[in-house]
Amino acid sequence: MEISDSTIAPDIDQETADAIAIDRAKGDFRFPENHKFDAGYGLNKDTIDYISDVKKEKDWIREFRHKALGVFESKPMPTNWATDDLNNIDFDAIRYYLSDGERPKRSWDDVPDDVKETFERLGIPEQERAFLAGVEAQFDSEAAYSNVKEDLEKQGVIFVNSTEGLREHEEIFRPWFGKVIPTGDNKFSALNSAVFSGGSFIYIPKGVKLKQPLQAYFRINSENFGQFERTLIIADEGSEVMYMEGCTAPQFETSTLHSAVVELVAMKGAKIQYVTVQNWSSNVFNLVTKRGMAHEDAEIRWIDCNIGSRLTMKYPGVVMKGERARGEVISIALANNGQQQDTGAKMIHAANNTTSNVVSKSISVGEGISTYRGQVHIPKHLKGCKNNTECDALLINTNSRTDTYPAITVRGNQHVTQHEASVSQVSEDMLFYMQQRGLSEGEAMSLAVNGFVNDLVREFPMEYSVELKRLIDLEMEGSVG
């Protein structure tokens, strides 16, 4: 079943429009390029060999890349989406690998000055000192800094970039590499498989429960560049981990491509929370494939906030492979002028008594377009499965648009599913009431928008919920954010 909602709200005045305009000045800066390795423009077999040679990869990885390139070239551009903007991507005008050739630094003082200043302006070292168990900071194609607390290393926790993971922990990495998200899953997963670089590899041993989160920060500094990190997180039996990622890029006149692949594996009784706050600049095509596999009694939660980018297409998913496994997606998306947020979730029930929950909230501002696109699949031979899907949209003015496409397939009669969707506008009565108490119309609109997402913001970890509220507040007020 597919339901499409397109609803219009009344016009707002210029003051309110200015108040909710998004200013991305915090991330809109760059430093001159200083790369030792540059694969050049365009994608072909020589590009693949260049990347493999620079990384000194084993033959099986090179072969994996070349096969993926063939899959990418054979697959047509997706045509069943709500936008034709994908056709504006010029793959021959993109640089697929940029690096200074250095291994990630373990000490912040050893990071190159321009890279260090970039992440210091974004607050990374302060966050690490304050509440993180480990940090990885990626600059263009490779990690510039990677560190995990010593006591966690002694417990067997591994937190390195994907290059180090493949080189130094192949026996753990390789069995799951490309198994949760096959190369041929879609055109952009194939592209990532061909040119992937950077990203995180995390392994949490049996019974180890991390009390502090791990964080990665992905930064694009170069123009006409594509970032293709690859992340694999394996939580062994009974372990727990929270991983948080942030993303920014400067505003370029040309388009920038970000196409990541994230694979999560939660073994029996394990728990993984994956938190994303994405604030890409409005020239970035953000085309990401994220999926987790939850075994018996395991839980995977995706907590997702998409504020930036020109176009985001992202549908975190969970395959509930073991009995009593649980999958959840909590998402917030904000689409402003010139933006389309095409987000959602995929929940695949593959065992008895599994539970999935999807809660999505979107805000459309100006001529922004937000789309919820979801899939829930419960096959006939299973029993005792449960799903809840909620999609709520808020429209700010007459040019805003939202669409909802929930595809829920339930076979058999031993399951429980429910779906709720709503589209609303900020009422004139509410704005009038707040203005009578001294707020300007812009401040009143900002307060209303924050109230709309407040219940989901509370689902984010404390450190990120504070940051997210601050970011939304600043963006709604048109301040630096």
**Whole-angstrom Cα distance, residue 432 to residue 439?**
9
Q: What does the pLDDT read at residue 70?
A: 97
- Could you tell me the pLDDT band of residue 470, with boundaries at 50, 70 and 90? low
What pTM was computed for the model?
0.84
Domain-located, residue 96: yes
pLDDT per residue as tens digits for the range 54-100: 999 999 999 999 999 999 999 988 876 656 678 888 999 998 988 76
Is 181's pLDDT higher than 90?
yes
Region 390-394 average pLDDT: 92
Output the pLDDT for position 183: 96
Q: Alpha carbon of 257 to those of 252, 260, 272, 310: distances in Å?
A: 12, 10, 27, 10
**How sure is the predictor about 7, in pLDDT bands with cuts at 50, 70 and 90?**
very low
User: 226: which residues sit within 8 A by CB, 6+ positions away?
Assistant: 94, 95, 96, 195, 256, 257, 258, 259
240 in a domain, yes or no? Answer: yes
Give the model's pLDDT for residue 349: 98
Report yes or no on 125 lying in a domain: yes
Q: What's residue 444's pLDDT?
A: 78
Tell me how far the alpha carbon of residue 151 is from its chain's centroid.
29
For residue 480, what pLDDT band results from cuts at 50, 70 and 90?
Answer: very low
What integer is the mean pLDDT of 340-352? 95
pLDDT reported for residue 359: 95
pLDDT at 17 exceeding the cut of 50: no
183 lies in some domain: yes
Alpha carbon of residue 440 to chain centroid = 34
Residue 275 has pLDDT above 80, yes or no: yes
Chain segment 92-110, per-residue pLDDT in tens: 999 898 876 555 545 556 5
Burial of 79 (0-12, 13-18, 19+ CB in 10 A): exposed
Residue 464 falls inside a structural domain: no
Containing 138, the helix (H) or strand (E) segment is: strand 134-139
Asked whether the CA dihedral 420, 423, 425, 429 is positive or negative, the reply is negative
Contact 94, 224 (CB under 8 A): yes
Question: What percent of the chain shows pLDDT beyond 90?
Answer: 44
The total number of structural domains in the chain stands at: 1
Contact 304, 343 (CB under 8 A): yes
Q: Which of 46, 3, 83 is nearest to 286 (CA)?
A: 83
pLDDT of 448 higher than 50: yes
pLDDT of residue 305: 87
Say if 377 falls within a structural domain: yes
The yes-or-no verdict on residue 25 having pLDDT over 50 is no
- Cα–Cα distance for residue pair 290/261, rounded to 1 Å: 6
pLDDT confidence of residue 113: 56
Task: For residue 102, count CB atoms less than 10 angstroms from its CB and return exposed for 0-12, middle for 13-18, buried for 19 or more.
Answer: middle
Q: What is the pLDDT confidence band of residue 112, given thresholds at 50, 70 and 90?
A: low
- 114-118, 334-338, 388-392, 471-475: range with lowest mean pLDDT: 114-118
Q: Please give the residue range of the domain that contains residue 207.
A: 14-430
Residue 211 forms part of a structural domain: yes
Q: CB atoms < 10 A from the CB of 379, how many? A: 14
Q: What is the mean pLDDT of residues 371-376?
A: 94
Domain annotation covers residue 438: no
Q: What is the mean pLDDT of the chain?
A: 80
What is the CB neighbour count within 10 angstroms for residue 176?
A: 16
Give the total residue count for the chain: 481
